[in-house]
Amino acid sequence: MAPASNGCTCSCLKVFANPVAKKMLMAITGIGLVAFLFVHLIGNLSLYAGPGGINAYGQTLHSLPPVVWAFRAGLILLLVVHIWLGIKVTLENQAARPTPYAQRTYLKVTLASRTMIWTGAIIGVILVYHILHFTVQMICPETAANTLKDTLGRPDVYTMVVSSFRKIGISLVYLVWMGAVALHVSHGVHSSLQTMGLAGEQTLPLWTRLALCVAAFVFIAYTSIPATILAGIVK
Amino acid sequence: MNLNLYVWRQKGPNAPGKLEQLQAKNISPDMSFLEMLDEVNEDLVRNGKEPIAFDHDCREGICGTCSQVINGIPHGPQERTTVCQLHMRKFKDGDSIYIEPWRAKAFPLIKDLIVDRSALDRIIQAGGYTSCHTGGVPDGNAILIPKPDADTAMDAAECIGCGACVAACPNGSAMLFTSAKVSQLASLPQGRAEAAQRVCVMTEAMLNEGFGNCSNHYECQAACPKGIKVSFIAKLNREFLKAQIK
């Protein structure tokens, strides 16, 4: 074969321009972010254990700043790579078809697969809101856990969460957010497995169903919190 | 049958194009889609008008030359069928039919429904072959190939290089085409020797030709007239990973 005598012709630098390498980076960072969704959920669900549960969780987390910051650094890296590649790939894909079809009938694409960039954008924008809300605690300063303490002197995360989600507007923002996450994940999970070469004729339909299950689980688990608070089950 | 056609007409690569409304009259349901276009062209010529330029060659569904997007689907509404093998009985009298060329930056339009698909040839030229040395003819059974591997290679080799996968892909990606050739050759001992290099140079060629990125819409598989599966794309991805850690 003419181009090279042996091995792969992709140099280390060139490899990230390769369309398959870009896909794989998208897939790996995406899988990392989905894994984070599950880790984050463990903390969220501690709300159901009452003020003792989530306040203890919050205090434990903040007594370990190196761990929290290492986690945040990792997340920022995953997000930056995922968002940068998402935008780059979308622009390249749009450039690949400068003249659109007058008539188009899709046979296989899904709402999720066609809207990855838009659900991604919604996730990104509301993520900023979420950080301002629960990390920086700017959205509802009157119930900020940084100032409000529980009976044991711990930051009162429980009251902050419950009083925030009692406001229907805030709950709606999170509902939209989780809808976008679920749609994004319902394509992302099986797409990542296909991209990493872990799919075959028999397994791909299974991964598609797995992706739907993951999306449904994430949506239900996360939105259960504002839903139960609004319904008055969690007070 | 009488049909109402909307056909993309464009005089040349840089000329402006538009959908032109044309009538197809007295069409037999037993005609192929291309024969229907032949009839329309006869009519146009009789009336001193320019006939529709479209690509065709074998008219047997094996050459991959006919390339038309019919009502928004490459090769039209019948599954696993090229335009030349699509028959007018698939349509109803009085139907409106939109006929457009393959749309992709990598396939520049030449005229009307004809596009230049040499970009696919250049992907093959980059690495879609095995290097052979001249000499005596090797014995046919000297290299044993397991039947499942031979079957996989044959399934991948069914690709006729028509470009419907590119035309169907919302991203204008040529992954299904490239993966078919990569998988065919990587499944056979003769192709394994250069498998790592091949997957890299062919995917690089894909990028250089201006094709989009695969984002697993799987529209390509649905449009492929030969039923090439997206599992070959997963195989290409595995080959690419193997090439990186070699």
The pLDDT tens digits of the residues spanning A180-232 come to 999 999 999 999 999 999 999 999 999 999 999 999 999 999 999 999 999 99
Shortest Cα distance, chain B CAs vs residue A194, angstroms: 5
Position B196 in a domain: yes
Q: Are residues B88 and B149 in the same domain?
A: no
pLDDT of residue A235: 87
Q: Are residues B210 and B239 in the same domain?
A: yes
CATH number of domain containing B231 = 1.10.1060.10
Tell me which of A107, A118, A193 to substitute to probe the interface with B (most B C-beta atoms closer than 10 Å). A107
Q: Are residues B81 and B125 in the same domain?
A: no
pLDDT of residue A210: 98
Coil, helix or strand at residue B8: strand
For A132, A220, B4, B122, B124, the CA distances from B201, given in Å and listed in that order, are: 46, 45, 45, 11, 10
* Tokens (6 digits) for B92: 């109803």
CB contact under 8 A, A97 and B212: yes
Position B105 in a domain: no
| Dihedral of the alpha carbons of A220, A221, A223, A228, in degrees to the nearest 10 | 110
pLDDT of residue A12: 59
Question: Residue B64 region, left (φ>0) first, then alpha (ψ -120 to 50), else beta?
Answer: left
In 10 A of CB A88, how many CB atoms? 13
pLDDT of residue A1: 58
* Selection from B118, B129, B128, B130 nearest residue B211 by Cα: B118
* Selection from B138, B143, B117 nearest residue B64 by Cα: B117
Position B108 in a domain: no
Write the residue in A104, A195, A204 that is nearest to B231 by C-beta. A204
Residues B246 and A135: beta-carbon distance below 8 Å: no
Instruction: State mean pLDDT over A30-47.
Output: 97
Integer Cα distance of B106 and A96 in angstroms: 7
Position B113 in a domain: no
Which residues in chain B are closer than 8 Å to A19, comparing Cβ atoms? 173, 175, 203, 206-207, 211, 213-214
Q: Are residues B157 and B240 in the same domain?
A: yes
Which residue on chain B is closest to A198 by alpha carbon? Answer: B234
Q: Are residues B69 and B160 in the same domain?
A: no
Beta-carbon pairs below 8 A across chains A and B: 170
Q: Are residues B95 and B203 in the same domain?
A: no
Q: Are residues B125 and B228 in the same domain?
A: yes
Residues A212 and A219: beta-carbon distance below 8 Å: no
Q: Is the pLDDT score of B192 beyond 60?
A: yes
Integer Cα distance of A123 and A119 in angstroms: 6
> Which residue range is the domain that position B159 belongs to?
118-130+145-244
Which residues in chain B are closer than 8 Å to A97, comparing Cβ atoms? 103-105, 170-172, 212
* Tokens (6 digits) for A15: 């490899």
Residues B211 and B104: beta-carbon distance below 8 Å: yes
For B101-218, where are the alpha helices, taking DSSP H only? 118-127, 147-157, 164-168, 175-186, 189-192, 195-208
Q: Are residues B95 and B68 in the same domain?
A: yes
Write the residue in B215, B235, B237 that is nearest to A196 by C-beta. B237
Which residue on chain B is closest to A110 by alpha carbon? Answer: B217
Q: Are residues B92 and B158 in the same domain?
A: no
Least confident of A108-112, A128-132, A145-149, B43-47: A145-149
Q: Are residues B24 and B89 in the same domain?
A: yes
Integer Cα distance of B178 and B189 in angstroms: 19
Terminus-to-terminus CA distance in chain A, angstroms?
70
Tens digit of each residue's pLDDT (9 = 90 or more) over B100-113:
999 999 999 999 99
Lateral strand order in the sheet of B17-24? B17-24, B3-10, B96-100, B69-70, B73-74
For A98-156, where are the alpha helices, taking DSSP H only? 111-114, 116-130
Domain ranges in chain A are: 19-94+114-230
pLDDT of residue B139: 87
pLDDT of residue A6: 43
Total of domains in chain B: 2
Position B17 in a domain: yes
Position B230 in a domain: yes
Position B46 in a domain: yes
Q: Are residues B27 and B80 in the same domain?
A: yes
Tell me whether A75 touches chain B (CB under 8 Å): no
Question: Chain B neighbours among A 53-72 (CB < 8 Å)?
Answer: none
Write the residue in B103, B171, B219 that is nearest to A106 by C-beta. B219
Fold of A19-94+114-230: 3 helical TM bundles of succinate and fumarate reductases (1.20.1300)
Coil, helix or strand at residue A173: helix
Coil, helix or strand at residue A74: helix
Q: Are residues B173 and B218 in the same domain?
A: yes
Residues B123 and B176: beta-carbon distance below 8 Å: no
Position B112 in a domain: no
pLDDT of residue A5: 39
Average pLDDT, chain A: 93
Least confident of A148-157, A161-170, B77-86, B190-199: A148-157
Burial class (CB in 10 A: 0-12, 13-18, 19+), A203: middle
pLDDT of residue A4: 47
Tens digit of each residue's pLDDT (9 = 90 or more) over A60-83:
998 999 999 999 999 999 999 999
Average pLDDT, chain B: 97
pLDDT of residue B217: 98
Shortest Cα distance, chain A CAs vs residue B88, angstroms: 19
Integer Cα distance of B84 and B60 in angstroms: 7
Write the residue in B196, B206, B216 that is nearest to A194 by C-beta. B216
Tell me whether A4 touches chain B (CB under 8 Å): yes
Which residues in chain B are closer than 8 Å to A95, comparing Cβ atoms? 105, 210, 212
* Selection from A194, A235, A185 nearest residue A212 by Cα: A185
The ipTM value here is 0.94
Integer Cα distance of A53 and A49 in angstroms: 5
Tell me whether A108 touches chain B (CB under 8 Å): yes
Tell me whether A87 touches chain B (CB under 8 Å): no
CB contact under 8 A, A101 and B103: yes
Q: Express as a percent the part of chain B with pLDDT over 70.
A: 100
